[in-house]
């Protein structure tokens, strides 16, 4: 009797009982992983840029609020304009400008209210090729003194007290 040997055509030789992936299967899996990683890396870069932009806006807002607090802390902020700049260690420069004016409340009240001042603070900085801006506004009540002609005393409406003395004219 003759024994016949059967050969499989198109199969690669392998070790009996060996299992695993071929080199081609590993390359295909690696390509799929890389295709998925590219958008994730782009998303990460975008996230870092947005965090940096948010940090700059936060620092500018804190600066504007600090300048506003300085002005409001005065008993009677003077009408006028002031400006300056602050340079940070990372090379970022903030320019600030504050303006104090008499408040125009005619549209709200039908007349003007004496002793109300409008405080406007603007902070700008270079954001790439454009200027970015943050501003804060508030209204401040300035103590208004009214003279009483008959007694010669001065009445401070904000404090609710009368100060003795003659009013100057």
pLDDT in 10s for each residue of the chain, 169 residues: 555 555 555 455 556 666 888 999 999 999 999 999 999 999 999 999 999 999 999 999 999 999 999 998 987 888 999 999 999 877 889 999 999 988 877 766 666 677 888 999 999 998 878 899 999 999 998 887 654 454 454 444 444 433 333 333 2
Domain presence at residue 14: no
Domain presence at residue 102: yes
Domain count, the chain: 1
User: What pLDDT, on the 0 to 100 scale, is given for residue 133?
Assistant: 94
Domain presence at residue 17: no
Domain presence at residue 150: yes
CATH number of the domain encompassing residue 76: 3.30.1300.30
β-strands 93-102, 116-127 pairing: antiparallel
Sheet arrangement for strand 154-156: 145-147, 154-156, 161-163
Q: Are 51 and 45 in contact (CB under 8 A)?
A: no
Instruction: Identify the three-state secondary structure at position 94.
Output: strand
Q: Which structural domain, as residue segments, surrounds residue 80?
A: 23-163
Domain presence at residue 15: no
Contacts of 23 (CB under 8 A, 6+ apart): none
Domain presence at residue 131: yes
């Amino acid at each position: 009797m003759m024994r016949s040997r059967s050969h499989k055509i198109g199969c690669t030789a392998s070790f009996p009982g060996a299992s695993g992936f071929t080199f081609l299967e590993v390359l295909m899996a690696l390509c799929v992983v890389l295709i998925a990683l590219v958008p994730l890396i782009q998303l990460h870069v975008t996230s870092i840029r947005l965090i940096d932009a948010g940090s700059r806006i936060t620092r500018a807002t804190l600066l504007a609020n600090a300048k506003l607090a300085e002005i409001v802390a005065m008993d009677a902020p003077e009408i006028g304009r002031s400006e300056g700049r602050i340079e940070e260690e990372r090379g970022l420069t903030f320019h600030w400008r504050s303006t104090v004016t008499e408040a125009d409340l005619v549209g709200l009240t039908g007349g003007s209210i004496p002793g109300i001042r409008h405080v406007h603070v603007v902070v700008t900085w270079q954001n790439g090729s454009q200027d970015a801006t943050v501003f804060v506004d508030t209204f401040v009540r300035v103590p208004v003194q009214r003279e009483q002609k008959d007694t010669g005393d001065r009445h401070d409406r904000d404090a609710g007290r009368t100060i003795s003395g003659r009013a100057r004219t």
